[in-house]
Amino acid sequence: MGKIEVGVDIDAPLEKVFELFTDFSKASERIDGISKLELLTSGPIGKGTRFRETRVMMGKEATEEMEITDFQPNESYRVEAESCGAHYQTDYTFRPNGDRTKVEMSFEGKPVTFAAKLLSPAFLVMAKTVRKCLQDDLDCLKRIAESDDA
Domain spans of the chain, in order of start:
2-145
- Residue 150: its pLDDT value, please? 57
Residues 115, 121, 126, 128, CA torsion sign: positive
Protein fold of 2-145: Alpha-D-Glucose-1,6-Bisphosphate; Chain A, domain 4 (3.30.530)
This prediction's pTM: 0.89
Q: Which residues contact 23 (CB under 8 A, 6 or more apart)?
A: 30, 45
- Residue 149: its pLDDT value, please? 66
- Residue 75: its pLDDT value, please? 98
- Residue 52: its pLDDT value, please? 97
Q: b/e per residue, 120-144, with b = 16+ CB within 10 A?
A: beebeebbeebeebbeebbebbbeb
- Residue 129: its pLDDT value, please? 82
Q: Name the CA radius of gyration of the chain, rounded.
A: 15
Question: Which parts of the chain have pLDDT scores under 70?
Answer: 1, 114-125, 149-150
- Residue 111: its pLDDT value, please? 75
- Residue 90: its pLDDT value, please? 97
d(CA 113, CA 144): 39
